[in-house]
Structure 1
Amino acid sequence: MSGIEAFSPKGMLHECWSAQANDYAIVCGWALQGKTFLVGDVAGGLYAFEGISGKLIWQIKDIHKGGLLAMSIHPNGKTFATAGQDGHVNIWESQKGTSTKTLELGKGWVEHIKWSPDGKFLAVVFTKYVYVFDDKGQEHWRSEEHPSTVSAIAWSNSNELATACYGQVTFFDVVNDKINQKLEWRGSLVSMVLSPDGDIVACGSQDNSVHFWRRSTDQDSEMTGYPGKPSHLAFDQTGTVLATGGSDRVTVWSFQGDGPEGTVPGELMLHTEPISCLAFSHSGMLLASGSRDGSVFSWFLQKDGQGDPVGGAFAGDLVSQIAWHPDDTALAAINANGGITVWEFKVRTKTSPQGFG
């Protein structure tokens, strides 16, 4: 590991528990209202841990031939979906790890899957097509062929799905089978995030820029000057600030007033290598960032995009994903060496009660 030395949790991050996967941990998330923490590794290993203690509840090997690529947890937390290099999507029961359905799309990778906000639909990317299945695993809708491989998907509401590929973002009404809006820009889009109200679309581009549109006005703009591809983007829950990677610092743009055009972004600087993941808390203006150097920091942001660190910890290796507990009282991180770490998040006191909160 270069650039940063291992250090003990600081500030509002406190040691809780840690565990180890058998391979590069690639996906994670909280299920069953935070009672269970799910982790998947690239070899197709799947793990469920007790949220508070870290006790291993169940473990499954080789769930996807060739490897695991994506996971999405149903909004109710009782089920979740995984996808892999075998062209399959598997639906699982969270409590016992029982497989309830397998969807076979064909030969090819399934890299992106996402449940709709109400949990009625599961969107699945398969090369240049996007499929939508209902909660029973029946195909409900299928897109026409996109101009290139679909690089990202996001639900703007329970019936409208956004897709990104080379040169365009398209909003589909998957219930009435129609295109609601198409936003075009000549360039390769590598990431996408929507503001909570679905009006602002932000995409990281292959040319080291962030391009965004306001759907209500059709206005678009661009933020340039990133050293690398902004592959990681995150809006806070109010849609006021947009956090972006693309370097070893987190660049935060404020959409307050007439921003971000003509404004200077906030810059959060403690990592020593490029940002590898970003996640906002479920309430408030708390941002967590992970880096290739193995560090994790939490930040309190202001509406103008400026921010201060409130916690820091060392995860041990490249941080592949971070996830806030549903009530924001804990923060989890997984890394490229299979490491799994959960920290309690709270004001530091002389006596720390057990559990979250």
Structure 2
Amino acid sequence: MPTIAPVDLGGFVVRAGFVENSAFFADGEGNIIFQRDEDGAVTVSPHKSGLLAAEISHDYKSLVTSGDDGCIYSVKADGSAALVAERPRKWIDLIACGPSGAVAFASGRTAWVRFADGREREFSHDRAVGGLAFAPKGMRLAVARYDGATLWWAASDGNPVELTWKGAHLGTCFSPDGRYLVTAMQENALHGWRLSDSQDMRMSGYPAKVKSFSWSAKGKYLATSGANAAILWPFSGKTGPMGQQPLQLGTRSDALVTGVACHPTEQVVAISYQDGMIMMCRFNDNAEVQLRRPGRGPIGTMGWDRDGSRLAFGSEAGEAGIIYLQD
């Protein structure tokens, strides 16, 4: 049976996951706790005030954070923090980590990319930036915005590619093979594009907004929140999910799914709910294992370690912990 090691936090958990071999928990007050099994916990608070976003670096060696102080920090599991970039008086609530130490961040209508050597590039848009993502290979940056998304070559001067679809586009991600771009919309839907020809893909029917998505280990499925089950869209064919029925895993009649985290090696997904419960479901037969009973609030963030033996989680009520799977 799974066992849980609880971690006490003071408030809303913005992000939970693993850096190197240490679990981390970043809360809205600006505190980051690294839970190291062999050396106990390390707490660091690099931001002067609140923490707005946190992303794991491309090499899994640090946590990149942003806050309402306009600062972006790279924080390691030993508690050391280095200032990556600063935009005084800017509200930096969107960040993305790319290859070779690149970091993208945005405020208002402007996105920036900072490279490991300290160089920066600025990308301006007509409407506010809603989401950022780097392609799995190369220095291509996707910027979600109103009425679509823009693809920039971050390290060169090539012309951007404009992908259009009416409405407000927020969080965004590339498929692991780089063939598709998917955005979560302000309405209860996802939208996607096949990048080879900009073919649109519409994924709708959600009763709530999609706030969490996760690609399966081999990129065959995109798991999403926003319904009474985890909705997994198939991306194995030439047309992505179009004309195919999604998997529905972990269905409950009394609670919406708030988070999804696909296992890094197996065809299973961790699913969190409004009431704080966490389940683990297998793709091929929908077999379920309860990992956590309901708690005080919705689980908003989950993250596996790299071998899939531990799952870190955090709730909107400040509950957090590490779930250890046992054979």
TM-score normalized with structure 1 length: 0.84
User: CA 1:186/1:151 → structure 2, altered by over 3 Å: closer, same or farther?
Assistant: same
SS in structure 2 of the partner of residue 202 of structure 1: strand
The yes-or-no answer on 1:283 pairing with 2:265 is yes
Q: 2:186 aligns with which of 178, 199, 206?
A: 206
Q: 2:70 aligns with which of 72, 78, 87?
A: 87
User: CA 1:221/1:102 → structure 2, altered by over 3 Å: closer, same or farther?
Assistant: closer
User: CA 1:179/1:288 → structure 2, altered by over 3 Å: closer, same or farther?
Assistant: farther
Separation of aligned partners in 1, 2:41 and 2:306 = 19
Partner AA of 1:90 in structure 2:
Y
Partner AA of 2:97 in structure 1:
W
Using the aligned pairs only, state the percent identity.
23
The yes-or-no answer on 1:150 pairing with 2:129 is yes
Q: How does 1:1-357 map to 2 (within 5 A)?
A: 14-32=2-20, 34=21, 36-50=22-36, 52=37, 56-61=40-45, 63-95=46-78, 97-101=79-83, 103-116=85-98, 118-136=99-117, 138-143=118-123, 145-156=124-135, 157-257=137-237, 258=239, 260-271=241-252, 272-302=254-284, 307-314=286-293, 316=295, 317-347=297-327
User: CA 1:335/1:315 → structure 2, altered by over 3 Å: closer, same or farther?
Assistant: farther
Structure 1 residue 311: deviation in Å?
Answer: 4.0
Structure 1 residue 27: deviation in Å?
Answer: 1.3
Partner AA of 1:273 in structure 2:
A
User: CA 1:204/1:46 → structure 2, altered by over 3 Å: closer, same or farther?
Assistant: same
User: CA 1:250/1:94 → structure 2, altered by over 3 Å: closer, same or farther?
Assistant: same
Partner AA of 1:342 in structure 2:
I
Partner AA of 1:130 in structure 2:
A
The number of equivalent residue pairs is: 323
> Is the contact between residue 77 and residue 94 of structure 1 (CA under 8 Å) also seen in structure 2?
no
Separation of aligned partners in 1, 2:159 and 2:279 = 40
| Residues 63-86 of structure 1: per-residue CA shift (max 9 Å, x gap) | 324410111232344433210111
TM-score normalized with structure 2 length: 0.91
> Is the contact between residue 57 and residue 101 of structure 2 (CA under 8 Å) also seen in structure 1?
no
Structure 1 residue 247: deviation in Å?
Answer: 1.9
Separation of aligned partners in 2, 1:340 and 1:224 = 31
Structure 1 gap ranges (5+) = 1-12, 348-357
> Is the contact between residue 211 and residue 220 of structure 1 (CA under 8 Å) also seen in structure 2?
yes
> Is the contact between residue 241 and residue 252 of structure 1 (CA under 8 Å) also seen in structure 2?
yes
SS in structure 1 of the partner of residue 126 of structure 2: coil
Structure 1 residue 321: deviation in Å?
Answer: 0.5
Structure 2 gap ranges (5+) = none
